[in-house]
Amino acid sequence: LTTTQTVSYHSFIINICRSIGPAVAGFIMAAYSAQMAFALQALCYLISILFCLPLKFKVNKQPKAETEMNIKIVVDYFKENNVGARIFITSLLIMATGFSYTTLLPVLTDKTFPDQVQIFGTAMTCCAIGGIIATIILPNILDKISMVKMYYMSSALFGISLLGTISSNTFLLFLSIFFIGLFSQWARTTNRIYFQHRVESEHRGKVLSVVMMDRGMIPLGAMLMSFSAELLGIIETFIAMGVSTIVIALLFGLLSRQRKDGGNVI
């Protein structure tokens, strides 16, 4: 498998689990109890660990002096690769503004569709379906569109989809959530694929360990957006999330078009 296919298939598996797992947990809680659901979840983690034990990886031991230079290697990479640095900064910001939607979506659906709990469950299923489709077709799309262009375009479309969630029409809501799953998965997967391709194999783990820290911005964004929802209202907060995501994606996308790295193939 190519790196693009591998990353896409990994995301595909995650989205399949996102759509099946909550449903299975719901049946277990309905038939037994929440404690049973958590116990079975812990058992699944244990089984996963057991499956990982036979795996073997070649480990190249680094001298102590070289290990201490790891941070410098990451800093130097971003200094030399302006495109990668802008993608990383964009990802940090968008994770805080846009990707915190999962935390606030129950509040939004309760506001727009009061006493209709099934709306949220159906919406999350639509989101997972969008993510699954995204990972299936992304490798073919990246053969025709550059990774950088794809990342910024999908990020902007993700922001536009966030604006559609404020609709009081169930069909439009589900359609918007579907596109949120599709475009957010495109953006996130393209981000990972870009760094997998653009970083030398000996430094790839060091750089990716920093790049994947962007997920840590989601809890921070959720906290900030929750304060915003209390002060402004949940609908106004989703509008702000969508607009800010669009602005960030377009702004950094334009910067990438105007300033091309010398010797970097985008």
> Residue 233 corresponds to which amino acid?
G
Residue with tokens 């809890």: 219
Provide the pLDDT for residue 159. Answer: 93
* Mean per-residue pLDDT, 196-214: 82
Q: Which pLDDT score, from 0 to 100, does residue 64 have?
A: 58
Mean pLDDT of the 80-90 span: 88
Longest dimension (CA), the chain: 61
Determine the Cα–Cα distance for residues 75 and 81; give it in Å rounded to an integer. Answer: 10
> Confidence band (pLDDT; 50, 70, 90) for 163?
very high
Candidates 158, 155, 171; CA nearest to 123 is 171
C-alpha–C-alpha distance, residues 79 and 46, integer Å: 41
The gap between the terminal CA atoms of the chain, to the nearest Å, is 22
Residue 168's contacts (CB-CB under 8 Å, 6 or more residues apart) are 112, 113
Q: Residue 218: pLDDT above 90? A: no
Number of other CB atoms surrounding residue 260 within 10 Å: 13
Share of the chain above pLDDT 70, in %: 92
Contact 179, 157 (CB under 8 A): yes
Average confidence (pLDDT) over 30-39: 87
Angle at which helices 170-198 and 82-97 cross, to 10°: 150
Query: Which residue, chain included where needed, has tokens 């009061």?
Result: 114
Cβ 183 vs Cβ 154: under 8 Å = yes
Query: Where do the domains of the chain lie?
Result: 3-258
The reported pLDDT for the residue numbered 61 is: 66
pLDDT at 135 over 50: yes
pLDDT category of residue 262 using cuts at 50, 70 and 90: very low
pLDDT confidence bin for 265, thresholds 50/70/90: very low
Task: Inform me whether the pLDDT recorded for 258 exceeds 70.
Answer: no
**260 has pLDDT over 70:** no
Going from the C-alpha of 27 to that of each of 38, 110, 116, the distances in angstroms are 13, 22, 19
pLDDT at 179: 94
Lowest mean per-residue pLDDT among 9-18, 49-58, 80-89: 9-18
Q: What is the average per-residue pLDDT within 18-27?
A: 75
- C-alpha distances out from residue 177 to 101, 124, 155, 215, Å: 10, 7, 14, 20
Assess whether pLDDT exceeds 70 at residue 148.
Answer: yes
Residue 266 has pLDDT above 50, yes or no: no
Band of pLDDT at residue 18, cut at 50, 70 and 90: confident
Q: Which of the two residues, 230 and 3, has the higher pLDDT score?
A: 230
Neighbours of 217 (CB within 10 A): 19
Question: CA-CA distance, 177 to 17, in Å (whole number)?
Answer: 18
Beta-carbon contacts of 223 under 8 Å, excluding residues fewer than 6 positions away, are none
- Look at residue 117 in the predicted model and tell me its pLDDT: 65
| Residue 11 CB neighbour total at 10 angstroms | 22
- The alpha carbon of 73 is separated from its chain's Cα centroid by a whole number of angstroms, namely 25
| Contact between residue 163 and residue 238 where contact means Cβ atoms under 8 Å apart | yes
pLDDT tops 80 at residue 101: yes
Pick the CATH number of 3-258 from 1.20.1250.20, 1.10.260.40, 3.40.1010.20, 1.20.970.10: 1.20.1250.20
Please give the average per-residue pLDDT across 244-256, as a whole number.
90
The pLDDT value given to residue 263: 44
